A = this chain, B = another copy of it.
Amino acid sequence: MGGKIQSLPGFRDFYPEDCAVRNYLFDRWRAVAHRYGFVEYEGPVLEPSELYKKKSGGEILGQLFHFEDRGDREVAMRPELTPTLARMAAARGRDYKKPLRWFGIGQFFRYEKPQRGRTREFYQFNVDIVGEPSRGADAELVAFAIDLMRDLGFTADDFSIRLSDRDAWTASLEAEGIGAGDPAPFLNIIDKMERERPEVTADALRGLGTSREAVDAFVAGAGAGGHFSPLLEDLAARGMSDFVEVDLGVVRGLAYYTGTVFEVFDKGRGMRAVAGGGRYDNLCGLVSDGAADMPACGFAMGDVVITDLIRETKRANAQLLTHLQAASAADVYVVVADESRRPDALATVQRLRQAGHRVDYPLAPAKVGKQFGQAEHLCARAAVVVGSEFPEVGVKDLLKRSEDRVDVAEMPGRVRAVLDSPPEGPHIA
């Protein structure tokens, strides 16, 4: 190959404006996690491939970036965090008081056909409670997901939580005498139902002595008796009833989860799952060969779909834009109006940075007009002009286009006043 080297298909470059959006999302993820009393952890991006083979959901294996390393180990770039969490909890879980409230923010990799909403790398927010079997933990996670969406600027008009439960399905199987005591074959069919051709699903269900019509009727019945009451009452106590609906049609991952399953559902045109999770009481034991058999539940949100949804949703997007505008590259630009005064300008730069301001200045001699142009390009609010009158300097409010000339000793206070003053001039509230 010759010519320009390009990035790999499905891998994103985060130019500063993209990285700012990514960081906004990370900041919100972290802020809500902290309010919920969760602490952050992180595992390696590369793991033994075996870690992903242990998990029942074989679907992921065909999408792994995996290879043999120089030490002849079968290794894989992680497609998800949960197996790593189970490995870490198995290795040192006893050092921590249960329940663990752990969250992670990291990058994951799947070799899929790149398309809208699907890249080969993505960031994911993973939130898990380990060591607590009660449904109170399930409710806490659903509440977390709701507050996360609200924190991002979404309302009950934009999203809902669709609640399902593996146990509700298995109870129904038993009542109907389907599957002869082993729910796995049935749940596998249900799990694949949304992606499978209808006639294949119908055939498979017929083989187990039931039908698509019976399944649809069960989903439509929805209530499933009082099965969801504890969860719904918990969320009602938090004032969150408007955000939750029982929907037994949420079937993805039923073969993997062991109890509650839920997804955050985009109610707009997209109709996408933007996050999902549930209870997975067997996984830690499975990955650790029984060394850490702990109940656990969790959910994950990727960065790609939620970022699309923010962009498409007026209120959420306005909140993002407000955030981006506030984070200019520089608060203060130091103008070198006389090159012989550059040392004084550098001292000024240093002083302003020590006061905590974001400061830029011309690295090489440049015309004063060009320097002001650069200051405006950076959206700096204030400029300090260092010229032949030094130690007298100019302090400019670049928004109000006003200037004060002060002794350099008074400069930091004057800059502070400019940065703290409302953009529109003083208002009386």
Question: Which positions in A face B, CB cutoff 8 Å?
Answer: 1-9, 11-16, 19-20, 22-23, 34-48, 50-51, 54, 65, 67-71, 73, 75, 77, 84, 87-88, 90-92, 96-97, 99, 101-102, 107, 109, 111, 121, 129, 132-134, 136-137, 140, 143, 147, 233-234, 236-240, 287-289, 291, 329-330, 342-344, 346-347, 349-350, 353, 356-360, 362-364, 374, 377-378
Known: A237-B343, A346-B238. A37 touches B358 (CB 8 A): yes
- Contact partner, A132, options B6, B47, B50, B363, Cβ 8 Å: B363
Q: Is the CB of A234 within 8 A of B132?
A: no
Shortest distance between the CB of A282 and any CB in chain B (Å): 16
Identify 23 residue pairs between A and B in the complex whose beta-carbon atoms are under 8 Å apart, listed by A's number.
A2-B289, A4-B91, A4-B288, A4-B291, A5-B87, A5-B287, A5-B288, A6-B48, A8-B44, A8-B75, A16-B96, A20-B40, A22-B42, A35-B357, A37-B360, A45-B77, A67-B68, A70-B111, A132-B364, A233-B343, A237-B346, A238-B350, A239-B350
Is A19 a contact partner of B40 (Cβ separation < 8 A)? yes
18 new A-B contacts at CB < 8 Å, known A1-B50, A8-B47, A35-B359: A3-B289, A5-B87, A8-B46, A8-B73, A11-B46, A13-B41, A15-B41, A16-B40, A16-B41, A16-B96, A16-B102, A20-B40, A23-B40, A37-B330, A45-B107, A65-B69, A237-B347, A239-B347
